[in-house]
Protein backbone atom coordinates (compact mmCIF):
# COMPACT_ATOMS: atom_id res chain seq x y z
CA UNK A 1 0.00 0.00 0.00
CA UNK A 2 2.79 2.44 0.77
CA UNK A 3 4.09 2.08 -2.79
CA UNK A 4 0.62 2.72 -4.21
CA UNK A 5 0.27 5.86 -2.09
CA UNK A 6 3.62 7.12 -3.38
CA UNK A 7 2.60 6.35 -6.96
CA UNK A 8 -0.70 8.21 -6.64
CA UNK A 9 0.95 11.23 -5.05
CA UNK A 10 3.60 11.25 -7.79
CA UNK A 11 0.93 11.32 -10.51
CA UNK A 12 -0.89 14.07 -8.61
CA UNK A 13 2.31 16.17 -8.58
CA UNK A 14 2.80 15.54 -12.32
CA UNK A 15 -0.69 16.90 -13.06
CA UNK A 16 -0.19 19.95 -10.83
CA UNK A 17 3.24 20.66 -12.37
CA UNK A 18 1.71 20.40 -15.85
CA UNK A 19 -0.98 22.93 -14.91
CA UNK A 20 1.68 25.36 -13.71
CA UNK A 21 3.87 24.97 -16.79
CA UNK A 22 1.20 24.81 -19.49
CA UNK A 23 -1.96 26.50 -18.21
CA UNK A 24 -0.96 29.58 -16.20
CA UNK A 25 -1.78 31.99 -19.07
CA UNK A 26 -5.19 30.35 -19.53
CA UNK A 27 -5.91 30.66 -15.80
CA UNK A 28 -5.04 34.37 -15.97
CA UNK A 29 -7.37 34.71 -18.97
CA UNK A 30 -10.20 33.00 -17.09
CA UNK A 31 -9.76 35.34 -14.11
CA UNK A 32 -9.93 38.33 -16.46
CA UNK A 33 -13.05 36.95 -18.18
CA UNK A 34 -14.77 36.43 -14.83
CA UNK A 35 -13.86 39.91 -13.56
CA UNK A 36 -15.17 41.45 -16.79
CA UNK A 37 -18.36 39.39 -16.55
CA UNK A 38 -19.07 40.51 -13.00
CA UNK A 39 -18.06 44.13 -13.64
CA UNK A 40 -20.61 44.39 -16.46
CA UNK A 41 -23.33 42.83 -14.26
CA UNK A 42 -23.25 39.40 -15.90
CA UNK A 43 -23.41 36.10 -14.05
CA UNK A 44 -21.52 32.84 -14.02
CA UNK A 45 -23.32 29.61 -14.96
CA UNK A 46 -21.44 26.36 -14.25
CA UNK A 47 -22.37 22.74 -15.00
CA UNK A 48 -21.03 19.21 -14.85
CA UNK A 49 -22.05 15.63 -14.05
CA UNK A 50 -21.13 13.52 -11.01
CA UNK A 51 -17.85 14.72 -9.49
CA UNK A 52 -17.85 17.59 -11.97
CA UNK A 53 -21.29 18.61 -10.68
CA UNK A 54 -19.76 18.72 -7.20
CA UNK A 55 -16.92 20.86 -8.57
CA UNK A 56 -19.46 23.18 -10.22
CA UNK A 57 -21.28 23.58 -6.90
CA UNK A 58 -18.00 24.13 -5.05
CA UNK A 59 -16.92 26.79 -7.57
CA UNK A 60 -20.24 28.62 -7.32
CA UNK A 61 -20.19 28.49 -3.50
CA UNK A 62 -16.79 30.20 -3.47
CA UNK A 63 -18.06 32.87 -5.89
CA UNK A 64 -21.39 33.61 -4.21
CA UNK A 65 -20.18 33.38 -0.60
CA UNK A 66 -16.44 34.09 -0.53
CA UNK A 67 -13.14 32.35 -0.98
CA UNK A 68 -10.77 34.02 1.50
CA UNK A 69 -11.69 37.69 1.43
CA UNK A 70 -14.65 39.51 2.94
CA UNK A 71 -16.44 40.99 -0.07
CA UNK A 72 -19.82 41.30 -1.71
CA UNK A 73 -21.34 38.18 -3.20
CA UNK A 74 -21.05 37.64 -6.93
CA UNK A 75 -23.84 36.19 -9.11
CA UNK A 76 -23.27 32.54 -9.99
CA UNK A 77 -25.47 29.48 -10.45
CA UNK A 78 -24.56 25.78 -10.50
CA UNK A 79 -26.93 24.19 -13.02
CA UNK A 80 -26.65 20.78 -11.34
CA UNK A 81 -28.24 21.68 -8.01
CA UNK A 82 -32.00 21.97 -8.49
CA UNK A 83 -33.41 18.44 -8.48
CA UNK A 84 -36.88 19.61 -9.53
CA UNK A 85 -35.49 21.33 -12.62
CA UNK A 86 -33.13 18.45 -13.44
CA UNK A 87 -35.82 15.79 -13.13
CA UNK A 88 -38.47 17.81 -14.96
CA UNK A 89 -36.18 18.50 -17.91
CA UNK A 90 -34.79 14.97 -17.84
CA UNK A 91 -38.29 13.50 -17.85
CA UNK A 92 -39.81 15.89 -20.40
CA UNK A 93 -36.88 16.40 -22.79
CA UNK A 94 -34.19 13.84 -21.92
CA UNK A 95 -31.06 13.92 -19.77
CA UNK A 96 -29.00 15.29 -22.66
CA UNK A 97 -31.03 18.52 -22.37
CA UNK A 98 -30.84 19.13 -18.58
CA UNK A 99 -28.26 21.91 -18.93
CA UNK A 100 -29.24 23.18 -22.38
CA UNK A 101 -32.76 24.05 -21.24
CA UNK A 102 -31.38 25.97 -18.25
CA UNK A 103 -29.00 27.89 -20.53
CA UNK A 104 -32.00 28.74 -22.71
CA UNK A 105 -33.87 30.08 -19.68
CA UNK A 106 -31.04 31.84 -17.84
CA UNK A 107 -28.12 32.82 -20.10
CA UNK A 108 -27.63 36.23 -21.65
CA UNK A 109 -24.76 37.61 -23.73
CA UNK A 110 -23.42 39.30 -20.56
CA UNK A 111 -22.81 35.94 -18.88
CA UNK A 112 -19.98 33.42 -18.73
CA UNK A 113 -20.79 29.70 -19.02
CA UNK A 114 -18.38 27.05 -17.77
CA UNK A 115 -18.78 23.36 -18.54
CA UNK A 116 -16.79 20.83 -16.50
CA UNK A 117 -16.17 17.36 -17.92
CA UNK A 118 -13.37 14.95 -17.01
CA UNK A 119 -13.83 13.09 -20.30
CA UNK A 120 -14.50 16.13 -22.46
CA UNK A 121 -17.39 14.22 -24.02
CA UNK A 122 -20.43 14.80 -21.78
CA UNK A 123 -23.22 15.36 -24.29
CA UNK A 124 -25.43 17.40 -21.96
CA UNK A 125 -22.54 19.78 -21.22
CA UNK A 126 -21.67 20.02 -24.92
CA UNK A 127 -25.25 20.80 -25.96
CA UNK A 128 -25.49 23.54 -23.34
CA UNK A 129 -22.19 25.10 -24.46
CA UNK A 130 -23.34 25.00 -28.08
CA UNK A 131 -26.50 26.93 -27.20
CA UNK A 132 -24.57 29.33 -24.96
CA UNK A 133 -22.38 30.25 -27.94
CA UNK A 134 -25.47 30.83 -30.08
CA UNK A 135 -26.83 33.16 -27.38
CA UNK A 136 -23.52 35.04 -27.42
CA UNK A 137 -22.12 34.09 -24.02
CA UNK A 138 -18.45 33.37 -23.62
CA UNK A 139 -17.89 29.62 -23.09
CA UNK A 140 -15.18 27.95 -21.04
CA UNK A 141 -14.42 24.28 -20.53
CA UNK A 142 -12.61 22.66 -17.63
CA UNK A 143 -11.86 19.40 -19.38
CA UNK A 144 -9.80 16.24 -19.06
CA UNK A 145 -7.95 13.83 -21.30
CA UNK A 146 -7.53 15.53 -24.72
CA UNK A 147 -10.51 17.87 -24.25
CA UNK A 148 -12.82 15.53 -26.14
CA UNK A 149 -15.55 16.91 -28.36
CA UNK A 150 -16.42 19.70 -25.94
CA UNK A 151 -13.21 21.65 -26.56
CA UNK A 152 -14.54 22.64 -29.99
CA UNK A 153 -17.45 24.50 -28.35
CA UNK A 154 -15.34 26.48 -25.88
CA UNK A 155 -13.89 29.92 -26.42
CA UNK A 156 -11.36 28.94 -23.76
CA UNK A 157 -10.56 25.31 -22.93
CA UNK A 158 -8.47 24.45 -19.86
CA UNK A 159 -7.53 20.81 -20.43
CA UNK A 160 -5.99 18.72 -17.66
CA UNK A 161 -4.36 16.18 -19.94
CA UNK A 162 -4.60 13.00 -17.91
CA UNK A 163 -6.60 9.83 -18.52
CA UNK A 164 -6.98 9.28 -14.77
CA UNK A 165 -10.33 10.77 -13.68
CA UNK A 166 -9.32 11.43 -10.04
CA UNK A 167 -6.20 13.30 -11.19
CA UNK A 168 -8.28 15.37 -13.64
CA UNK A 169 -10.70 16.24 -10.84
CA UNK A 170 -7.80 17.23 -8.57
CA UNK A 171 -6.50 19.44 -11.35
CA UNK A 172 -9.89 21.05 -11.86
CA UNK A 173 -10.38 21.87 -8.18
CA UNK A 174 -6.85 23.28 -7.97
CA UNK A 175 -7.60 25.53 -10.96
CA UNK A 176 -10.90 26.57 -9.39
CA UNK A 177 -9.20 27.53 -6.12
CA UNK A 178 -6.49 29.51 -7.91
CA UNK A 179 -9.11 31.31 -10.01
CA UNK A 180 -11.19 32.19 -6.94
CA UNK A 181 -8.14 33.54 -5.11
CA UNK A 182 -6.94 35.62 -8.05
CA UNK A 183 -10.46 36.86 -8.81
CA UNK A 184 -10.86 38.22 -5.29
CA UNK A 185 -7.46 39.90 -5.44
CA UNK A 186 -8.27 41.35 -8.86
CA UNK A 187 -11.71 42.70 -8.00
CA UNK A 188 -11.52 43.54 -4.32
CA UNK A 189 -7.92 44.09 -3.17
Domain positions in the chain: 2-188
| pTM confidence score | 0.97
Question: Phi and psi at residue 100, in whole multiples of 5°?
Answer: -55, -45
DSSP single-letter state for residue 95: G
Tell which CATH classification among 3.40.50.10490, 3.40.50.150, 2.60.370.10, 3.50.50.60 matches the domain 2-188: 3.40.50.10490
- pLDDT tens, per residue, the chain with 189 residues: 999 999 999 999 999 999 999 999 999 999 999 999 999 999 999 999 999 999 999 999 999 999 999 999 999 999 999 999 999 999 999 999 999 999 999 999 999 999 999 999 999 999 999 999 999 999 999 999 999 999 999 999 999 999 999 999 999 999 999 999 999 999 998
Question: Count of CB atoms within 10 A of residue 113's CB?
Answer: 29
Amino acid sequence: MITEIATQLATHREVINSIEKKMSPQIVELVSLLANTFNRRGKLLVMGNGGSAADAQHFVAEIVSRFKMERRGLPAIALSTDTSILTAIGNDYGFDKVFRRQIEALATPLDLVIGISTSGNSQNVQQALMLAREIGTYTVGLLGKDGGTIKDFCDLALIVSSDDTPRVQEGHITIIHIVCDLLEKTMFA
